[in-house]
Amino acid sequence: MRRGAVILCGGHSRRMGQPKALLPFGDELMLQRVCRILGEIVPQLFVVAAQHQELPELSPTVTIVRDEYDSLGPLAGIATGLGAARATCDSVFVTACDVPLLKPAFVERMFGLLADHDAAIPTDGEHVHVLSGIYRPELEDVARKLLNRDQRRPLFLVRASSSLLVPETDLRDVDPALHSLQNTNTPDEYQAALQLAEFR
């Protein structure tokens, strides 16, 4: 299976008050760290950024894709990323740039659970973590149809496809605290993630 990863970083970071992709994390910036972690697992990385967004220096192996939609939210970024990956990947892990505690074993487990499904998405019973899942690139078509109908929530994509919802109990052996699902949306969450990080 040809695997890849799509990293969304085109959000407005309103709650953080500054661009999350550029936040220092150890001797890296946030986006650099997430790219490095995923680069240990998959050979192809696609970073989806806003049209004029400033990005840190990234490996030349990372493909930067500028979001063709303006401020339509994460489903638009997913559609753009899936389109970029479609020619070379059979499945991609889709995430945001603000998960610096992402565990490689978590991503490997999610790939292993995809099987014949269109997508595999973690759930804790209350929330469906659409930005921590595996997607088939062909779902780009479904995502664009949803956007054309002004159905912008990524959960609509999950419901419109053959998606496996993965309970958190199937993931805790590889990520006991589920840090891979922990976003850093606020300054307090950023500071908490820094304290939990194992810098290497």
Report the chain's mean pLDDT, rounded to a whole number. 93
The per-residue pLDDT for range 69-112, each reduced to its tens digit, is: 777 889 999 999 999 999 999 999 999 999 999 999 999 999 99
Burial class from Cβ neighbours inside 10 Å (0-12, 13-18, 19+) for residue 112 reads: exposed
Helix (H, G, I), strand (E, B) or coil at 5: strand
Helix (H, G, I), strand (E, B) or coil at 19: coil
DSSP β-ladder status, 62-66 and 44-49: parallel
pLDDT exceeding 70 applies to what percent of the chain? Answer: 98
Q: DSSP assignment, residue 128?
A: B
Please give the backbone phi and psi of residue 43, each rounded to the nearest 5 degrees, phi first.
Answer: -85, -15
Q: In 28-120, which residue ranges form alpha helices assigned H by DSSP? A: 30-39, 74-85, 104-114
- Per-residue pLDDT at 199: 58
Instruction: Give 136's contacts (C-beta < 8 A, 6+ positions apart).
Output: 90, 91, 118, 119
- Per-residue pLDDT at 200: 46
pTM score, whole prediction:
0.94
Helix (H, G, I), strand (E, B) or coil at 118: coil
Task: State both tokens at 115.
Answer: 């099987």
DSSP β-ladder status, 119-123 and 163-167: parallel
**In CATH, what is the architecture of 3-196?**
Alpha-Beta Complex (3.90)
Evaluate if residue 2 carries a pLDDT over 70.
yes
Average pLDDT on 133-154 reads 96
- Per-residue pLDDT at 10: 73
Q: Which residues of 134-148 are buried (b: 16+ CB within 10 A; e: fewer)?
A: bbbbebbebbbebbe
CB 134 within 8 A of CB 114: yes
In the numeric block, the tokens 């994509």 are attached to 157
